[in-house]
Amino acid sequence: MRRPFLLALAAALTVGLAACSDDGSGEAPAAEETAAEQEGTQAPGTGEDTADGGEVVETITVTAEEMSFSGIPETLPAGTVRIDFENAGRAPHDLVVEELGDEQVIPVIDGGASESATVTLEPGTYTFYCSVGNHRSMGMEATVTVD
């Protein structure tokens, strides 16, 4: 009898504390900020740090499907780029950057999985591709210009 009461009390306190929390300004966060935080994305240049202490200059979301990528922009700023990668297809996919010595930025992941990584890009032209099987020759390749 006592356990259900304690569980209900704990749940009520958790909900109450979450509803009362703010960023110190006395106002609740804007809906778009909350959504961005929940998705794990951040606007460019807002101070997201990388593991090596650098700052992320851009965050992109790349989606792999059966034999195509979406979300790889034609241009990116030079610096550290965060890549949020989602495999929305059924086949396994990865993401490789040829000009970085064929570095596998995102390891092979199965359909339905996602992974994130950062990569530092100097000005130039880069080829992003999937190295699984013959996926690259079937269209899983994109060229990106870094300014």
Boundaries of every domain in the chain = 2-33, 42-146
pLDDT confidence tier of residue 87, bands split at 50, 70 and 90: very high
CA distance 132 to 96: 10
Average predicted confidence (pLDDT) for the chain = 78
pTM above 0.85, yes or no: no
List the structure tokens of 119: 């990569």
pLDDT at 30: 46
Kindly list the distances between the CA atom of residue 56 and the CA atoms of 18, 45, 51, in Å, as whole numbers in the listed order: 29, 6, 10
- What is the average pLDDT across 14-29? 44
- What is the third-level CATH fold of 42-146? Immunoglobulin-like (2.60.40)
Residues in the chain: 147
pLDDT at 47: 53
Whether 90 shows a pLDDT value over 80: the answer reads yes
